[in-house]
Chain A
Amino acid sequence: MTASDVPNTRSRTAGEKKFDGFFVGLTTAFAIGTGLLLLAISFIILMAAIPAIREFGLQFVIASTWNPVQDAYGALPMIYGTLVSAFIALLIAVPLGLGVAIFLSENFIPLKIRTVLVFMIELLAAIPSVVYGLWGIFVLIPAMKWFFGLFGLQFIGPSMLTAALILSIMILPIIIAISRDSLASLPPDLRQASLGIGATRWGTIFRVLIPAAVSGIVGGIMLALGRAMGETMAATMVIGNSNQISLSLLEPGNTIASLLANQFAEAKGLQVSALMYAAFVLVIMTLVVNILAQVIVSNVKAKYD
């Protein structure tokens, strides 16, 4: 039998060929569309922010009144709150997360138990933030009141510190996951070489493994920072939503994300635009952090691929 005996079954119809091209084109369009989505998000928010940008200019990021009644808007207290709560959360979560990551990447305990621990930590990341918020209101705040009461301190409840604590819980899984990955992807001979010249386990960890994995760890911390800056529900439910800057961590504060969550649904006129402006500031802040994180993380990946 030769090719020509069954011509009908083996030539592609014009329709089939066209569909093939169409299919490939469609996937291409979807992929490029996703790539451009981020741009579209930034652009649309920027467009909506234009009236407020005209009105307040760069003044917006250094002015500290947010007054919908007088249509005077400045986002400094929220920018301050966003940064401070995120940094305190990092301060708590980084040492803890690193400790856990090291513990899980070494063979202190059998692999089975480690797998269970990893699953539990993934679960920590999967619990919805609104559940953390609810828990913060009804469990953490009363507990903190009691704790500060032991020292005779006045603690009203919703505060920057409460928010930072909850944020730290929420970013721990990211730090752990990425630090553990970077530690685990180190070449095994690195550890063996160090142990082979008589270094102890923790000597190896501090002098060899952590330095070798440092850029991955830093990338993970950056991702966590981005997450903490943008986390909305847990923050908005326990931070007190006060639009004043207060240097005390035990006083209420606000973040950009929680400002948006609180005011958008009822905002009108210039307030909408001011909120869009604030959202745009948040986009820029998180983009910078995330792009840096991605660059760092992908460089690490490239190194060991």
Chain B
Amino acid sequence: MTSFRGTSPESPSLAGLRKNSSRPRDVFNIIMTGLSVLCVVITLIPLVLVLAFVTIQGAGSITPALFTELPPPPGLEGGGIANAIIGTLIVVAIATLISVPFGVMAAVYLSEFSKDGQVARWVRFFTNVLSGVPSIISGVFVYALLVRTGLTGYSAVAGGVALAVLMLPTIIRTTDEALNIIPQEIRWASIGVGASRYQTVLQIVLPAAIPSILTGVTLAIARAAGETAPLIFTALFSSFWPNGILQPIATLSVLVYNFAIVPFEPQQELAWAGSLILVLLVLLTSIIARVVTRQKTY
């Protein structure tokens, strides 16, 4: 075989075996491969540009004041976005407190107890469809349900509920998948020593699935922290420190939106700084999620 390679006189039929980059078929293959590489490059350009600009524009404003002070009044210099950072933490915490127990329990039903597969199929279907519903719709829903009715008014709670609606499908789906990976034998083993269903679920199945569930929850939280649309008219905004969970509250994402569209440079700089924090948060959680996933038992 090797002797064929590099020897020049060959029968014509064997010469046909060699690569020939001017043959139309090969030209087509080379062009298509080149085009697909181009697609990858074009796709990554916005990512690089967004990350670059956010870093460049935002890094300058990263000062201690950013994390300790309130935003300046329109037109004035200085200040920080501390109230929005705390506000985001509060609203996201409320959303997590609602969506995680709700979502995990619903997923437990889907993967552990749904005897009649029909119900589970419908619930899964609607959950998937729900995840495609625009995020602003969850804001509209909560506005109609809690804000306009005066149940909570514009408040951190209203914002938290709106974000919870968005987190729910992610949490259910990831938990459902995480539970499905747990080998059936583990459940049998637990049932075999006489465990009740809740004991098997709470003490064996859920703990075994925790790494994967945490991954899902982390990703859901990261996504929720960056959501703006559902908060604009539920959590509203506030230039002041958070004042209880039944008052309007500042959040990072709404701050970026509000300050991006005002004509004052100090505000715009804070918007970039807020963006940088949001992006770092997303980056960090994506990486954490990856690390946690690696520690899975199953």
Contacts and interface: CB of A to CB of B under 8 A. Distances in A.
B39 A31 contact: no
Contact of B145 (A44, A279, A287, A290): A44
Interface of A: 10, 12, 16-17, 19-20, 23-24, 26-28, 30-41, 44-45, 47-48, 95-100, 102-104, 108, 117, 119-124, 126-135, 137-139, 169, 172, 176, 200-203, 205, 223, 226-227, 229-233, 237, 257, 260-261, 264-265, 272, 275-276, 279, 282-283, 286-287, 289-291, 293-294, 298
A128 B253 CA distance: 8
Interface in B244-290: 253, 256-257, 260-261, 268, 271-272, 275, 278-279, 282-283, 286, 290
Contacts, number: 268
User: What 5 A-B pairs have minimum CB-CB distances, sorted nearest first?
Assistant: A230-B134, A128-B226, A99-B39, A290-B132, A27-B109
A205 B29 CA distance: 11
A103 B40 contact: yes
A126 B228 contact: no
A38 B123 contact: no
B136 A260 contact: yes
B260 A134 contact: yes
A72 to B, nearest CB: 21
A267 B97 CA distance: 31
Q: Is the interface of A mostly helix, strand, loop or mixed?
A: helix
Contacts of B44: 117, 120
Interface in B77-121: 102-103, 105-110, 112-114, 119-120
Nearest to B253: A130
Contact of B133 (A95, A230, A272): A230
A275 B257 CA distance: 21
B134 to A, nearest CB: 2
B119 to A, nearest CB: 7
A34 B109 CA distance: 11
A135 B46 CA distance: 10
A232 B141 contact: no
10 contacts: A16-B196, A30-B109, A31-B110, A117-B44, A123-B282, A127-B47, A133-B257, A201-B29, A202-B28, A233-B229
Contacts of B271: 134
A65 B225 CA distance: 35
